[in-house]
Amino acid sequence: MVKIKIDGIEYEVDEKKNLISAAKDAGVDIPFFCYHPKLSVVGMCRMCLIEIEGIPRLQVACNTKVTEGLSIVTKSDRVKEAREGTMEFLLANHPLDCPVCDKAGECQLQDNSFGSGKGNSRFTLEKRNIPQEEIGSNLIINHNRCIVCYRCVRFEEEMVGESNLGLFERGYHSIIGLAKEEPINHNYQGALADICPVGALLNHKTLFKSRVWWYKSEESVCPGCSTGCKTYTNVRDNKMFRYMPRIDEEKDQYFLCDKGRFNVDWLNTNRLFSFYKNGEASKSAAVLDEISEKISKSKKIAVIGGAHESDQNLKSIKESLSKLGVPFVTEARVSPEQYKEPEQVDFQYTTDKRPNTKGAVDAGFVSSEGIDSIRSAAAKGEFDLIFVIKEKVSEILAGAPSESIVVLETNLTEDTTKAKYSVPIKAYSEQSGSFTNKKGWIQNFSKSMEAPKGLSSSEEIFSLLVTKTLELRSNTREAAVGNR
């Protein structure tokens, strides 16, 4: 930590951080466009101009090293005039089409225009007009809105490891465009739209779907893989529209991959709301009563899956099952990737596509035998009941008798119609809890959607089943005593 002065006030800041980030920690916002804490510094936008004591000319804050005794001025008339000039140049050719731009409401150009702009333009000539282009499988570029901050080019080269974009022409004619004939097809097209500070880069999948101020947002965690990226959920009319990255500089979390970001349809469509018996919709009471009766007669029970469930649900399920006095085995690891350290598919996405494998291991929701041994035992009929929590029965229990299988699912699948019983459960977004990611970080997520009335979580289902089973046993004992 070092001491620096900002506008005459002394602060203690982290010397390892960029000056813009260090100032923000101290509560001072320096406007910028091209700077990003995970990308190289280029100083292209000239928006973060400041005065530095002892240096006659204005300097860019993003390229100023944080050192002991540094003294800067961010709010002088000279600095304000320079920023106004920068904004005037950036807005000269900008179309000012905020009412139809998807970035409106979360646009840095809007924010900096209000905070540092003049409020009027002296540009009277015809603005340049370049046709919009599709440059990716889920990415379009509006050249007229682009301010040539170079963020997208740096992100691809430095984070994704590809060079699909480049800066072409000079001055008035400068544009960002494809450097190759093939369109962009990597896993971070959503991230490209995110880091664009204006509405130049946009995704087809979210285009014109909703205004950002209509969303209800909650802090959450991406359920797409073991990385556990922090997110904000964007919900409208109780439907999930998108995930947005929740930046955590301390844990080096800034981005979301497309596989996690756009995987929202399962929360909005094809949900399982009915209890099923033998492939047909049934009443909840009848299904739960039959399962409870089977539990009361069982000699051994298995619970497979659970790596999609929260830490709290897994702990509660084990506690409920322990009250039965019946031998049971739990195993959340159903794929080879879960039995080893997750491998990186790219710089974010991993081979383990479940968000809470580490949490399941820490909670003891695993067995010493492993899934192969359990699968073999199930095929031999050694389990009277097998509960499968949000996993594909056809893949992990081939050969097991369907009469013994109870599926707990959020969505209507082929497995739910083939199992003996199928029980609907809440999705993670309809609950609060935590996931433990591959590094052992316990990360909380908040409830962001309302579950349909009557829908229960997995732990509530097991708690109810155990309660019913114990009541059934008690009634059976009382009846036996009364008949003596």
DSSP 372-434: HHHHHHHHTT--SEEEEESS-HHHH-TTS-GGGEEEEESB--HHHHHSSEEEEB--GGGS-EE
Distance CA 256, CA 275 (A): 35
> What radius of gyration do the chain's Cα atoms show?
28
Express each pLDDT in 49-90 by its tens digit.
999 999 999 999 999 999 999 999 999 999 999 999 999 999
- Say if residue 166's pLDDT is above 70: yes
Q: What is the pLDDT of residue 121?
A: 84
Answer with the residue of higher pLDDT: 120 or 243.
Answer: 243
Rounded average pLDDT over 325-348: 96
Q: What is the pLDDT of residue 482?
A: 64
Query: What's the predicted TM-score (pTM) here?
Result: 0.92
What rounded mean pLDDT belongs to the chain?
95
Express each pLDDT in 15-37 by its tens digit.
999 999 999 999 999 999 999 99
What letter does residue 344 receive in the DSSP assignment? B
What letter does residue 253 receive in the DSSP assignment? B
Q: What is the pLDDT of residue 402?
A: 84
Distance CA 343, CA 449 (A): 32
What letter does residue 282 receive in the DSSP assignment? E
Distance CA 360, CA 356 (A): 6
Confidence of residue 481 (pLDDT cuts 50, 70, 90): low
Torsion of CA 74, 79, 82, 86, to 10 degrees: 10
Express each pLDDT in 114-163 by its tens digit.
999 988 888 888 999 999 999 999 999 999 999 999 999 999 999 999 99
Q: What is the pLDDT of residue 483?
A: 63
Which residue in the block uniquely carries the two structure tokens 């140049």? 89
Q: What is the pLDDT of residue 362?
A: 97
Confidence of residue 476 (pLDDT cuts 50, 70, 90): confident
Q: Is 308 exposed, middle or buried (0-12, 13-18, 19+ CB in 10 A)?
A: buried
Distance CA 200, CA 181 (A): 20
Residue ranges per domain, the chain? 2-75, 275-477
Confidence of residue 398 (pLDDT cuts 50, 70, 90): confident
Q: What is the pLDDT of residue 400?
A: 83
Query: Which of these, 193, 260, 192, lies nearest to 220 by C-alpha position?
Result: 260
Confidence of residue 365 (pLDDT cuts 50, 70, 90): very high
Mean pLDDT lowest among 25-39, 197-211, 386-400? 386-400
- Say if residue 484's pLDDT is above 80: no
Rounded average pLDDT over 248-277: 95
**8 A C-beta contact, residue 201 and residue 141:** yes
Express each pLDDT in 96-109 by its tens digit.
899 999 999 999 99
CATH top-level class for 2-75? alpha beta
Rounded average pLDDT over 217-224: 97
Helix (H, G, I), strand (E, B) or coil at 276: strand
Instruction: Give the count of beta carbons closer than 10 Å to the beta carbon of residue 262.
Output: 18
- Say if residue 427's pLDDT is above 80: yes
**How far is residue 38 from each of residues 41, 165, 196, 305, measured CA to CA in Å?**
9, 18, 14, 36
Express each pLDDT in 265-308 by its tens digit.
999 999 999 999 999 999 999 999 999 999 999 999 999 999 99
Q: Tally the residues of the chain.
A: 484
CA 93 to chain CA mean position, Å: 35
Helix (H, G, I), strand (E, B) or coil at 54: coil
Report which residue type is found at 365. Answer: F
Distance CA 375, CA 358 (A): 21
Q: What is the pLDDT of residue 368?
A: 93
CATH code, residues 275-477: 3.40.50.740
Residues near 42 by Cβ (< 8 Å), separated by ≥ 6? 34, 150, 154
Distance CA 229, CA 256 (A): 7
The three-point CA angle 398-399-405 to 5° equals 80
- Say if residue 480's pLDDT is above 70: no
Residues near 469 by Cβ (< 8 Å), separated by ≥ 6? 292, 295, 296, 324
Q: What is the pLDDT of residue 232?
A: 97
Express each pLDDT in 221-238 by its tens digit.
999 999 999 999 999 999
